[in-house]
Chains A and B, each alone.
Chain A
Amino acid sequence: MITDDMSDIFKRLMHADDVNLSVFLTAGYPNMTACGHLIELLARHPAVSFVELGMPFSDPLADGPTIQRASEIALKQGTRLDDVLSLSKQFRSICDKPLMLMGYCNPVYRRGVERFVKEARAAGASGLILPDLPYESYSRDFAEALGQEGLSMSFFVSPTSTKEGIERAFETSTAFVYGVANVGLTGDIPSMDRGDFFRGLQNHRARCPIVAGFGIATPEDVNGLTGLVDGAIVGSAFLRALEPKNESMLDTTSIVQRAEDFLEPFNLNLK
């Protein structure tokens, strides 16, 4: 369904004054069946502008306990890269919102970069986010393949980034720059003033949209970034809401219900 260049889609999307909500979901969590329903919910939900679909990895270095556990559960149930791609396909059959595949380098290299990029494109994905991919490896192994398939790539800036690091992220990213809104891991409670960090990035924003992530959990967190970023990603908080805490919370209806309940307050952001 996507025929346009993803970077244009992002630019259009990001043009709005409000902070676009993105939701991160680990593929295969809490189980493959429920995940299929969740990806449909995200595709249809009016509050959700775009989606990060997590490709589970055995050793997720930058992730806090929630996404670690979600990846572990997904892998234990046998979630494979093919399942990730089929969830992407399912999402694309419903909507044209951007969908980024987010994970770590090793499974992608194992699959073969060119092959994976082609498969991702065929599954309707908009781009990739690989936090442990070095810039040199991107230029050597990914840039051409992604360009040919019209897929985007996002790089990170964090409060510890050097000036050169920030420069490079804005120069190289083709979807948006992922702004790590905390000194910490995904899902950690913020230990810093996000506003200050993002204010310092404003003069780069015209070149590439900024999307905030890490420790963003509530509509207040998202609204607090108005005017500073183009989007905000809610990940760990969403997965925590899905987590089955007892037997009665295991069935798909109940999981999807909890996802809807979680997203409900974000609707208030819609004008």
Chain B
Amino acid sequence: MTNHPIIKRGYYGDFGGQFIPEMLRRNFEELEKAFNEAWADEAFRKEYLELMRDFVGRPTPLQKAERWSERCGVEIWFKREDLAHTGAHKINNAVGQVLLAHRMGKSHIIAETGAGQHGVATATACAWAGLPCTVFMGADDMKRQKPNVERMRLLGAEVRAAKTGSMTLKDATNEAMRFWIANPTDTHYVIGSAVGPHPYPMMVAEFHRIIGEETMTACARLDLKPTHLVACLGGGSNALGLFLPYIDQEIALVGVEAGGESLDSGRTAATIEKGSPGILHGAKTMVLQDGEGQIQEAHSVSAGLDYPGIGPLHAHLAAVGRLQTEAVSDTEALKAGMLCTRLEGILPALETSHALAWTLKAEWKGDELVLLNLSGRGDKDLETYINDHGRHV
């Protein structure tokens, strides 16, 4: 909730805030008020939860990964977000925000997308709600993720190419913000991760909190006492969704960043590991930047992780030592994804493969109990997996 003790005037510790032009200030004031009211309103919660059940297919299972556990030498359970409608956790937030936009009387939805998962989720929620939807996507990403572009169009969304800068997620986010500046009254901007100016990071996290809550319920039923929660970190929404109900408990929170080619290659997306405090997309957080404060391009084999920032709440949790961050390389992630497919019959999204890869290389004593957020399915990444597989056979 936006009145969580961690938050002071939109800041999470030293991070967060609202570094936005005056033209957007009213929108943010309205949004924060509307979200707080909606989230405290039983009727809104009820509608959201019914949609989570009937439209999204929740709760998603918590499944023991027998052969994966054996391979890692520790007991590991998967939270199967890949089984949620549209194939990833992203839909929780998309449905929540579209419901909120509807309640606010907004008549047009915009979103940014990198790999296309959030774009597909938002287009899906908009089709359900009967709201027109415009998705901004980097021109380069549109080429890399063509099936998702077509999928969004089939769902009735307009996909607009962001042709500035690196032509990826960062630039799509800029374009969406700019569109909002020019169309502030009737439009709601559905940000796809726990990033951006307050109240977005907390609001997105709240719409994903259901992941952690279901996990807790399942653990109680199965009498599981987890010691570690593991999730991949791009912007950080799936990680925060799982971690949020556990933040005040004694349990290790591990966020796995995309190391890219390697941590010291300069071609990485490991923002907490390699970044420094800066301001990007309206929030103070950890960013990849040069000495002049220019934002650098991020690199990862996973289009959902190549973002040069991170949620400000994650930056805060890492700074105070609550969040442990790790990085795995493109190669390690690809290998782990293939291995999971063979051992568990689950083709994971490349993003998720990063979390998987870390459990393979971490040093376990053997008495831990690990819950891993299997945040999405890998159908969208088939081409990358197949090409990589071809290289190794």
Contact = CB atoms under 8 A, between A and B. Distances in A.
Contact of B164 (A68, A108, A155, A185): A68
Contacts of B25: 160-162, 165
A75 B279 contact: no
Nearest to A133: B19
A107 B164 contact: no
A73 to B, nearest CB: 12
A104 B26 CA distance: 20
Interface in A119-140: 131-134, 136-137
B279 A106 contact: yes
Given A183-B182, A184-B181, A188-B182, A59 B21 contact: no
B17 A134 contact: yes
Interface stretch (B237-245, B291-299, B379-387): B291-299
Interface stretch (B51-59, B124-132, B170-178, B204-212): B170-178
A110 interface: yes
Contacts of A134: 17-20
Contact of A107 (B26, B177, B293): B293
A92 to B, nearest CB: 22
Interface residue SS majority, chain A: loop
Nearest to B170: A59
Interface in B1-40: 9, 17-27, 29
Contacts of A60: 174
Nearest to B19: A132
Contacts of B182: 183-185, 188, 191
Interface in A53-76: 57-65, 68-69, 72, 75
Nearest to B295: A58
Contacts of B295: 58-59, 106
Nearest to A57: B294
Contacts of B287: 106
A13 interface: no
A155 B289 CA distance: 26
Interface string B161-197: 0001100001000100110011111000000000000
Given A131-B21, A165-B26, A58 B282 contact: no
Interface in A134-153: 134, 136-137
B174 to A, nearest CB: 6
B280 A59 contact: yes
A43 interface: no
Contact of B278 (A64, A81, A106, A188): A106
B322 interface: no
Interface string A150-185: 000001111011100100010000000000100111
A80 B26 contact: no
A108 B294 CA distance: 10
A109 B285 CA distance: 13
B281 interface: yes
B279 A132 contact: yes
Contact of B292 (A61, A64, A110, A180): A110
B21 A132 contact: yes
A111 interface: yes
A2 interface: no
A136 B9 contact: yes
Contact of A61 (B18, B27, B177): B177
A105 interface: yes
Contacts of A63: 178
Contacts of B165: 58-59, 72
Contacts of A108: 293
Number of contact residues on A: which range applies?
35 or more
Given A61-B178, A68-B164, A160 B294 contact: no
Contacts of A158: 21-23
Contacts of A105: 19, 279
Given A75-B294, A183-B182, A137 B281 contact: no
Contact of B181 (A57, A104, A185): A185
B293 A180 contact: no
A20 to B, nearest CB: 22
Contact of B174 (A59, A165, A183): A59
A106 B286 CA distance: 12
Interface string B141-168: 0000000000000000000000011000
A158 B22 CA distance: 7
Contacts of A133: 19
A179 to B, nearest CB: 10
> Which residue of A105, A110, A183, A185 has the most chain B CB atoms within 10 A of its CB atom?
A110
A184 B164 CA distance: 18
A62 B294 contact: no
Contact of B289 (A104, A110, A131): A110
> Which residue of B20, B29, B278, B279 has the most chain A CB atoms within 10 A of its CB atom?
B279
A124 B9 CA distance: 36
A191 B177 CA distance: 18
Nearest to A191: B182
Contacts of B183: 183
B289 A106 contact: yes
A132 B29 contact: no
Contacts of B18: 134
Interface in A61-120: 61-65, 68-69, 72, 75, 80-81, 104-111
A181 to B, nearest CB: 11
Interface string A22-51: 000000000000000000000000000000
A156 B287 CA distance: 26
Given A59-B281, A191-B182, 5 more contacts: A111-B292, A111-B293, A165-B22, A180-B23, A188-B182
23 contacts: A59-B281, A61-B178, A61-B282, A62-B21, A62-B23, A81-B292, A104-B279, A105-B279, A106-B278, A106-B287, A106-B295, A107-B292, A107-B294, A109-B278, A132-B19, A137-B17, A157-B22, A160-B27, A161-B26, A162-B25, A165-B26, A183-B23, A185-B181
- List the 5 shortest-distance A-B pairs measured between CB atoms, nearest first: A110-B293, A107-B293, A156-B22, A62-B21, A184-B182
